[in-house]
Each structure stands twice: as C-alpha cells, then as structure tokens.
Amino acid sequence: MPVKKELLHPSDIITAVREKEFADLRHLREHLRGERKYPLVFKLNLPKSSDVHEGLRNKSFITGYTDFQLAWKKFPHQEMIRSCSRNWRLDGCDTVPEALEISCFGDLRKLLDAHQNRFIDLAVKRVEQLSRVAGVAESAVFYALLAQLVGTTGHGIEYSLSDREFSDLLILLPQLRAGMGRELYLRSLPLINIDTKYIENHDKLIYDILCITGVLDVAAEVQGITVRRKIENFLGVEPHPDGFVSVVILDPKLVGDPAVTGRYRICMVPAAELKKHAPVGSNLLVVENKESGYMLPEIPDTVAVFGGGKNVSWADNDWICTKRKVAYWGDLDQSGFKILAQFRHKAGFQIPSLMMDPGTIEKHLERMCMDDSGETVEPAEMSLLTADEKEAVRLLSSLEHSVNRLEQEKLNQDYVAETVLKFFTEK
C-alpha cells in the first residue's frame, strides 16, 4: 500500500512559501507592516509510522525517502529546518526533517527569488519616500496602497508605476492645495514639472493618499460621485466640460461684431458654460433636437440653443428671465412634453411652447410615427403644462400606437418658419 502523501522537498516548500507569503498581497502587506505572526510553519508531510512500515515493502518508497533526506541535507538554510526523532532506521538516522520554520521577515526573504526581493526593496523605498514627502510619521500606513504604488504579485510581478511616474507623484503631492483650481479645468492647474494628464491617469492613487494623510475629509464628502469628481471638488476645479449644446445666432446683425460674438454663427457650448453666460440677443428659442436647429429662419435679435435633448440643467440660471422673449420647441411625443415640463421647472417660470399643440398634430397626421420609448408624462410634469399642451398629450395617447409621435423634423418647413417668426416679431 503506497504512502498516502508525498514527502515535500525544499523546492515544494519554497513554491508554497512564495505563493502564500509573497504572491498573496494581504500577507505581504502584513510582513511589510510588521504585523505577520511568526514563526510560520510549513510541514513536510511526514508519513505515519504505520505507513512507513508498509512502505518498507516498496522499493520506490525507500528511494523517495532517501532522496527526501538528501535534498533537505543540501538545503542552504539549515537553521530553518525543524527536525524530529523517528525510529524508522531507513537510513541509519533517527532525525527526520519535519517542517520548515520561518522565524522572521529576513528568513522569508532568503526563500524569495531576486525579482521578488527587488519588488520588496522597491516597496520599502517608495513607502519611505512617500512618507517623507507627505509628512506622515507612520510610513506603514501606505502599505495599504501597495498594489497602486508598486504593483501586484499574484501571477508574476506586474508593476503599476514606473520610476518616472512615482517621481512625478512625489513632485505633485506638495503642490496640491484645496481650492487651488478655482475657475480652471483639471488640466489647466498651475503645476510645475507635471504633465497635464497625470492627475487623470492616477486619480485613484492620489485620492487614496489624500485620504490616508487626512488632507481629504472622507466623512464630509458627497456620496455617490466618482473619485475624479471628488478630487475636482477638493481642488475646486470646474467639471470636465460635457453635455454640449449647439448655439445658432438667427440675426445676422448679431454676428457682425467679432468683439461680442466672435466670427461664428453656429457653435457648440458646454451646458455648464451656458448656465453661467447668457448668449447675445434679446430673444431665446430652445429647440430639443439638433437637426431641427438647422431649419430655423432668420429672426431679429434672436439666438437659438438646440440639440440639448434631455440636458436642460443649464436653464437654472440667472439670465434667462432677463430675455425679452423665450420659447421652447420640442418633439410632439411623451418625451418631448416631459422635457418641456423639466425645462420650465429648471427655468422657474412658464416659458411658452411653440408647435406643441393639438392643431400642429392634426395638421401633420400623415407624418406621425411610432413612439417606442416607453416614457409617460408623470402627473407632476403634467401640472407644468398648459391646457393646450395637456390636450396634445391626451390626443397622442388616444392615437394608434403606430402613429402616436410627431418628430420636429416632420413639420412643414414653411409652417415652422411662419410660427417662430410670428412669435418673436409680433409686439
């Protein structure tokens, strides 16, 4: 009957030690922090005496045992071997290697290869450097960021930061101050010897360091936002511009002064910028869809904001109520009326709509198509609609499903031009 377990040779134990104590970052962190409990004992799978007596009948067992003893005699770190006495007399020796005992971190490092020890040296060096730059006395706290500062060790070593990237981190950290980026974008921060993408590329690491050092108050942070946004909030920078809307100047006279409007009649503007700065002209027309903005006629003293769709955040501003006339034009469908209601809610007053009434629907019945959005105007949104608009919503709901939507682009061009001109030019 064969012995139930294979005797473990030094190569087997070294592999097990490296997998458990180095490749497992949790254990490696404990070693580096001085928190791992010693000694660490790795047993060599000695067989029971009864199994040995049975194994004596098997020549391969005797050969295997002899090789086992010889391998451990050649092991260079004899002080780590824990032996025991066994009266087996297989090789004329009563002393048998029983386990490998690692009594300290230095012992562990003797069992690691050159690449693994280089990783540890780099980790210790970077944590000490970071601690000095950050002014943190207890450097061990930074080992929590081992994977980000140095790399991972699971299936081979993968470094996360090059020497240059880590050097840049040490240059960057002393320059970061709360509120330093007022009215700036993240990439325009006044930083010395740091590339403009560095913070974006390493935002999670920078955020974690700021938290560990107490520069960022985690408890006071807004929940449910990205790490990038948290860093932007700390620095006081403007959010990355997105949610662009298109702006078209409908009065050629307003384009004539480059000092006021530049030389462009049509441009795209971040919604956040539009919220802060009013477009030229006394009148404003808001159009839901982008393509519909290109079909507008010339209108005196008027600018159109178009293509924003559901992005109506900019309507909550200080300037919209100062315009002489403001109107909204959207799709005649459930989504279009929802956006109209939300726009009015943001703007804070009853902005009139154009071509969002039963008469427009009835005039273009042959242009209707199917509304498959699944959206519905909610009661709170209905309360912000006029009687005519509510009737239009009811009319759309009563139509066959295949013809319960009228897109802006399906309206007759002359009808659109006549309607908007009449609204903005009549006294």
pLDDT score at 221: 66
What three-state secondary structure class fits 230? helix
What three-state secondary structure class fits 81? strand
E-strand stretches of 173-265: 244-249
Q: What is the pLDDT of residues 319-346, one digit of tens each?
A: 999 999 999 999 999 999 999 999 999 9
- 8 A C-beta contact, residue 309 and residue 291: no
**Mean per-residue pLDDT, 376-393:** 96
CA 393 to CA 388: how far, in whole Å?
A: 9
Decide the pairing of beta strands 325-329 and 283-287: parallel
Answer yes or no: is pLDDT of 246 > 60. Answer: yes
Radius of gyration over alpha carbons of the chain, in Å? 37
| Fold exhibited by the domain 244-425 | Dna Topoisomerase Vi A Subunit; Chain: A, domain 2 (3.40.1360)
pLDDT band at residue 155 under the 50/70/90 scheme = confident
pLDDT score at 65: 82
C-alpha pair distances (Å), 4 with each of 60, 96, 390: 14, 18, 83
pLDDT score at 264: 78
State CA 231 to chain mean position distance.
12
Domain ranges of the chain: 10-110, 114-235, 244-425
Answer yes or no: is pLDDT of 261 > 60. Answer: no
pLDDT band at residue 3 under the 50/70/90 scheme = very low
In 10 A of CB 411, how many CB atoms?
Answer: 20
**What backbone torsions phi and psi does residue 75 show, to the nearest 5 degrees?**
-60, 125
Higher pLDDT, 274 or 1: 274
pLDDT score at 412: 93
CA 328 to CA 323: how far, in whole Å?
A: 13
The percentage of residues in the chain with a pLDDT greater than 70, rounded to a whole number, is 91
pLDDT band at residue 252 under the 50/70/90 scheme = confident
Q: What is the pLDDT of residues 27-38, one digit of tens each?
A: 999 999 999 999
**Residue at 310: amino acid letter:** K
Q: What is the pLDDT of residues 55-100, one digit of tens each?
A: 566 677 778 888 998 999 999 999 999 998 877 665 556 788 999 9
Name the pTM for this structure: 0.70
In terms of Cα–Cα distance, which of 117, 126, 133 is closest to 148?
126
Q: What is the pLDDT of residues 365-376, one digit of tens each?
A: 999 999 988 899
CA 170 to CA 161: how far, in whole Å?
A: 12
pLDDT score at 61: 74
State CA 105 to chain mean position distance.
37
Higher pLDDT, 57 or 106: 106
- 8 A C-beta contact, residue 162 and residue 198: no
State CA 337 to chain mean position distance.
33
Answer yes or no: is pLDDT of 420 > 90. Answer: yes
Answer yes or no: is pLDDT of 219 > 90. Answer: no
CA 345 to CA 348: how far, in whole Å?
A: 5
**Residue at 381: amino acid letter:** E
Tokens of 113: 């290869």
Answer yes or no: is pLDDT of 148 > 70. Answer: yes
Total residue count of the chain as it appears in this document: 427
- 8 A C-beta contact, residue 143 and residue 33: yes
Answer yes or no: is pLDDT of 239 > 90. Answer: no
The residue assigned the tokens 């004539």 is: 256
**Residue at 295: amino acid letter:** M
Decide the pairing of beta strands 40-43 and 95-102: antiparallel
pLDDT score at 154: 82
HSE toward the beta carbon, residue 308, CA cutoff 13 A: 32
